[in-house]
Amino acid sequence: MTFRTLQDADLKGKTALVRVDFNVPMENGQVQDDTRLCAALPTIELLSKAGAKVVLLAHFDRPKGKRVPEMSLKPVLDPLSALVRKPVAWADDCIGDPARNVISAMKPGDVALLENLRYHAGEEKNDPAFAQELAKLGDIYVNDAFSAAHRAHASTESVARLLPAYPGLSMERELNALNAALGNPQRPVLGIVGGSKVSTKLDLLKNLVTKLDKLAIGGGMANTFLYAQGHDVGASYCEKDLAETAREIIRLAGQSKCELLLPIDIVVAEQMAAGAPTRVRGLGNVDDHERILDAGPETVARLKRAMAHSKTLIWNGPLGVFEIPPFDKGTVEAAKEAARLAKEGKLVAVAGGGDTVSAMHHAGVAQDLTFISTAGGAFLEWMEGKVLPGVEALKV
């Protein structure tokens, strides 16, 4: 993949339209978590210091083409101004005179935030006329919102084809990490896929077994694979109607020479409750009233050995019900080993997807892995091998 880079661009005096992800957690008009605001800061700072006008485009929630006051981006203004350490101008629309007037009043280096893109139906419809209105506001386009790159919307796809387009620094870092994990990885490559449902990760599993050297399956979805192999899973969560699909994935892995690492022992309990008594069981040795809630110690030890013999790890989904101790043990132990190997430079360890980010923070290793993607759906679709419109539009 080849892209223009901001480091090579002539930015002085230019107006840069920067697509960011400011769809932040909000409560009573107050930003509850500024992680996504902070993610945009390096790109904002680079553009501002280079003498560009920095015009931020973002969506918030789902107003579905209407002005919904409680879905305004205006509450982001004060916390963003504090983070960039200067006033951020505000326009109460993202096109037309309100936007043009604010941009005209800006000086090189200034920053402005425009109102919610999704107040216009043309945004999600990827309407060419709406994209043209956005493009009229700037000289260059910068996409720093990988988390929205799987959507073919006007601000993520069409505008990138109307102006010279660049990935922002956050987007560039994400693309480099993903390329290192699956695009052009150091081999052997190990994948870990966990979570509760096989049904939500069918495309992911089918793609990964054709790309990886080894794939470990954990969490509730592992129960479906064990059931498909004839093992008793007791009262565990299990998608029994997907047993044949699981067997198909096992066959596909064999054809692709991808070694599947399914659990070889399991942790069971009668209740999914904090501090509940647990037992380690062999496969199929589960009572009718017991539930499989974590990977067993032998399974985790084998996974750690697989990490030690790999050069690249890509991880999506926990090995057990990590939110409820003691069922977090397998995930935490494996995460700490991945972090240790990454810190020692022995493993490129990339993780992503909702629960995965939470699990890595829970294990205390979020800062030690090579890269953690917070992009959610875009990260998963990329792992599934799907084309991401917002990334395609940036290619030279």
Could you say which of 51, 65, 376, 377 is catalytic? Answer: 377
Closest CA to 290 of 350, 233, 215: 233
Could you say which of 19, 36, 211, 281 is catalytic? Answer: 36
Could you say which of 4, 100, 173, 197 is catalytic? Answer: 197
Return the H-helix or E-strand segment holding 255. Answer: helix 243-255
**SS3 at position 337:** helix
What parts of the chain have a pLDDT lower than 70? 1
Distance CA 153, CA 166 (A): 17
Closest CA to 111 of 147, 153, 82: 82
58 with 19: CB under 8 angstroms?
Answer: yes
Q: How far from each other are the two terminal CA atoms of the chain, in whole angstroms?
A: 8
Return the H-helix or E-strand segment holding 16. Answer: strand 15-19
Indicate the CATH number for domain 6-172: 3.40.50.1260
* Options 3.30.70.100, 3.40.50.1260, 3.40.1160.10, 3.30.420.40; CATH of 185-383: 3.40.50.1260
103 with 57: CB under 8 angstroms?
Answer: no
Cα angle at 57 between 51 and 62, to 5 degrees? Answer: 170
Distance CA 170, CA 139 (A): 21
134 with 142: CB under 8 angstroms?
Answer: no
**SS3 at position 349:** strand
Distance CA 219, CA 374 (A): 20
The length of the chain is: 396
Listed in order, the ranges of the chain carrying CATH 3.40.50.1260 are 6-172, 185-383
197 noted as active-site residue: yes
β-strand pairing of 312-316 with 189-193? parallel
Could you say which of 65, 109, 354, 385 is catalytic? Answer: 354
Residues 186-195 pLDDT 10s: 999 999 999 9
377 noted as active-site residue: yes
